[in-house]
Amino acid sequence: MDPAVAAAASGGAPVLPDLVVVLRNAVKVLRNTGEGAFEDVTAKAGLAGDPGGARAVLLFDADQEGDLDLFLAGGAGGGNRLYANRGPGVFVDVTATSGLAGDGAPYGPAVVLDADGDWDLDLLVTRPNGPPVLFLNDRLLRFHEARGWVPDAADGSHGALTGDFDRDGRDDVVLSAESAATWLRGTGTGFELRALPGAPGGPAVTLDPLLRGLRDLYFVSGGVRLAARPAGGFGAEALAGGGTGDGAMANALAADFDGDGAEEVVLHTPDAAIRVLAFDAEGRGAGLVLDFRGVIRNDVQAGWSNLEGRDAWVEVKAGPFWQGRRVGAVSGFGASNPTRSVFGIGDAMQADFVRIAWPDAVQQGVLDVAAGVPVLIVEEQRRPDSCPLLFAWDGQRFAWVTDFIGAGGLGFLVAPGIYADPDPTESVKVPARLVAADDDGRLAFKLVEAME
């Protein structure tokens, strides 16, 4: 088995990607020293006893506390494992209580998505001999298998990738088998099975070679590209891929490796040199190149997003173009993409806005983002108060009194599936100096929802 590799951001500035490498019989954790070298810190990380042999390695924030946890999907005869990140580079095995161990049958590559739209990250794990399994996140490092969400006909796959293929703002999945591929359209309560005529199977990536705001499917085996349609989905006619696919079962990922604002495809074939496929630039539009930086704590705010912003949901609007996808989404046979993201915007010179839903559920909008140069977006908590705000007429203006109804939410999480009862009542004392009758002799108050 070739090593499987995932990259993660380590603490400090600048952000230095570390590596988790899965071998046949071991897992290695390599810390980036920042000097063009990596240090083996496997024992310190708590992973010296892992048996290795996993078919997928994912680093994602399973519990939304700002660091990246480690999920390993078991190969033949091996179970899934979840390691919780308990500090800088230290992991603890929480598989037994996580609900992710599985049933002992073989599992394959996995993808991260928010299948049920509840602002936490779920896992869909492929199986070579049956439909993929969806594990929904109950938070607090607990998951459960969502039975009935995935059609039984989605049988036997070796790879998966995610994207918003119907442009409805939800995560979809493409499953790749050896000689075919299928599209699982996410509905928020399950998946609908859609055919992909012309798809040859094998590892695939999504990319926008002409930067027109539509992401095609590119299948490495045979170099086949399915063109995305403006209304969603893909054309039935397969197009020339623009590369030199030769049928070899190479793993693949797409990213802007040369800094020209467009994506290339990197192919890794066992026992062969790594190849880079570039696509024809004729007729290419403008590309928005975005880097992300999540915030744990800085001088002005606290947050709970990992430093790379991995798995944040990003939407881009430029004129008629609207598109959304997840940062660092998986492609190929379980390859985690770099977090630098390219969005094609056609003839536009800038995006009207970029909207980010960070992993800690903070929402942020950035206006008039220029194309052609990398833009770093740092998480910013612009709405520091989610409670309603009370204003009172003081005779001259509406003056701020206080925020209140702090306990009037929909209930706080006590344990997986158990929420506290909401209490929407609260007594608020308004100082006499802030209250004056208007011309009609009435007292006037205004209530403002800060999150709107």
CA 401 to chain centre: 40
Helices and strands of the chain, counted as H and E runs: 2, 37
The answer to whether residues 381 and 362 touch, using CB atoms and an 8 Å cutoff, is yes
The answer to whether residues 122 and 133 touch, using CB atoms and an 8 Å cutoff, is no
Q: Residue 452 — very low, low, confident or very high, per pLDDT cuts 50/70/90? A: very low
Mean pLDDT of the chain: 86
- Residue 223's pLDDT is 82
Burial of 49 (0-12, 13-18, 19+ CB in 10 A): exposed
Identify any residues that bridge with 347 across adjacent strands, giving them in sequence order: none
Read off the amino acid at residue 317: K
Report the percent of the chain where pLDDT is more than 70.
88
The answer to whether residues 187 and 148 touch, using CB atoms and an 8 Å cutoff, is no
- Taking Cα atoms as reference points, which of 328, 322, 365, 312 lies closest to residue 212? 322
- Work out the average pLDDT over 211-219: 91
Cα end-to-end distance, the chain, whole Å = 51
The answer to whether residues 191 and 151 touch, using CB atoms and an 8 Å cutoff, is yes
User: How far is it, in rounded angstroms, from Cα 83 to Cα 25?
Assistant: 17
Lowest-confidence segment of 24-28, 172-176, 413-417 by average pLDDT = 413-417
CA 132 to chain centre: 19
- Residue 298's pLDDT is 66
Residue 75: Cβ within 10 Å count: 21
Name the pairing type of β-strands 374-378 and 287-293. Answer: parallel
Output the CA torsion 135→308→41→31 (10° steps): 150
The answer to whether residues 239 and 245 touch, using CB atoms and an 8 Å cutoff, is no
- Work out the average pLDDT over 269-288: 84
Q: Is the pLDDT of residue 115 over 90?
A: yes
Name the pairing type of β-strands 275-277 and 313-318. Answer: unpaired
Query: Tokens in use for 341?
Result: 């993201």
Q: Is the pLDDT of residue 147 over 70?
A: yes
Tens digits of residue pLDDT in 134-144: 999 999 999 99
Which of 394-399's residues contact partners 24+ apart within 8 Å by CB, and which partners?
394/433, 394/434, 394/435, 394/436, 395/436, 398/444, 398/446, 399/434
